[in-house]
């Protein structure tokens, strides 16, 4: 009788242990997301202090990896109405959306194929909007415990809508492009992450606009889900109207919340 009681007790303890371990195990979500908000200082076509916000979403499952990046820049300026009173209004804004999906060809191989779409609505420049699509081949060229380097290249199609002015009507220019991009990440230490992004959209014909972007960022962890991010972005267009800058830069400091 005593042996049966002992066996039953041991069985209960084992079941309790298994149940406890099952409740403590967490299923890792394939989704990661972050949102940021802060101030931005802009030079080039416009010198201003603006509000910057953004949202990043990543989904990784098996061979698939998809990312969506949204950004919004709003300029607030003080203007005088017909009664002579000053009011803060939204005088300019710029928003962007970029999506990319990668498919790894082999789990043992760092090669992947990708599809990329992007759209930018920018009231700061002479372009009313700029959009593109691209697909091609990429590879993880370097990976260590602290750093990775991914780069891809492929053909694509770009569409620029040039804003109407006093001297010209609204125009739409389309071009075939070669898109190349590279992303380098390095975990400097437990709390600091460095990122360098380079994107080129090259239009082969001489009279077509090519664009180049470089973004450098350093993110410092403040809390488990809260980071402070410093970033510098350089945008270059080869073909702009007279009076507009080819190069525009953004220097920003934002708070990032990860969830």
Domains of the chain, by residue range, sit at 29-258
As a whole number of angstroms, the longest Cα–Cα distance in the chain is: 102
User: For the ranges 74-83, 89-98, 227-236, which has the lowest average pLDDT?
Assistant: 74-83
48: pLDDT strictly greater than 90: no
Across the chain, mean pLDDT equals 85
User: Residue 1 has what pLDDT?
Assistant: 46
pTM of the full predicted structure? 0.81
| DSSP state letter for 44 | S
User: Residue 18 has what pLDDT?
Assistant: 46
User: Residue 55 has what pLDDT?
Assistant: 96
Q: Helix, strand, coil: what percent of the chain each, to 5?
A: 10, 65, 25
Kindly indicate the confidence band of residue 3, based on its pLDDT and cuts at 50, 70 and 90.
Answer: low
Region 161-190: mean pLDDT is 92
The CA-based angle 45-50-51, given to 5 degrees, is 140
SS (H, E, C) 202-225: ECCCCCCCCEEEEEEEEEEECCCC
User: Residue 176 has what pLDDT?
Assistant: 96
- Encode 30-39: b = buried (16+ Cβ within 10 Å), e = exposed: eeeebbbebe
From residue 200, alpha-carbon distances to 55, 98, 160, 161 in Å are 22, 14, 15, 19
**Distance between start and end Cα atoms, the chain:** 54
Region 87-109: mean pLDDT is 85
User: Residue 5 has what pLDDT?
Assistant: 43
Which CATH architecture does the domain made up of 29-258 adopt? Answer: Beta Barrel (2.40)
User: Residue 9 has what pLDDT?
Assistant: 45
């Amino acid at each position: 009788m005593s042996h049966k009681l002992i066996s039953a007790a041991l069985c209960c303890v084992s079941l309790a242990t298994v149940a406890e371990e099952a409740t403590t195990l967490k299923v890792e979500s394939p989704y990661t997301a972050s949102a940021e908000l802060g101030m931005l200082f802009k030079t080039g076509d416009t010198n201003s202090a603006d509000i910057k916000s953004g949202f990043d979403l990543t989904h990784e499952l098996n061979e698939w990896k998809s990312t969506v990046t949204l950004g919004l820049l709003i300029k607030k300026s003080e203007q005088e109405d017909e009664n002579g009173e000053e009011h803060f209004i939204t005088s300019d804004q710029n928003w962007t959306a970029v999506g990319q999906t990668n498919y790894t060809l082999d789990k043992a191989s760092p090669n992947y194929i990708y599809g990329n779409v992007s759209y930018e609505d920018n009231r700061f420049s002479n372009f009313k909007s700029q959009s593109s699509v691209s697909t091609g081949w990429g590879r993880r060229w370097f990976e260590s415990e602290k750093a990775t380097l991914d780069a891809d290249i492929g053909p694509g199609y770009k569409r620029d809508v040039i804003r109407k002015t006093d001297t010209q009507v609204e125009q739409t220019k389309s071009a075939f492009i070669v898109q190349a991009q590279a992303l380098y990440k390095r975990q400097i230490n437990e709390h600091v992450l460095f990122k360098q992004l380079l994107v080129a959209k090259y239009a082969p014909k001489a009279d077509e606009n090519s664009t180049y972007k470089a973004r450098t960022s350093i993110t410092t962890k403040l809390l488990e889900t809260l980071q402070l991010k410093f970033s510098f972005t350089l945008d270059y267009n080869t073909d702009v109207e007279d009076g507009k800058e080819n190069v525009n830069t953004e220097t920003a400091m934002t708070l990032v919340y990860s969830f």
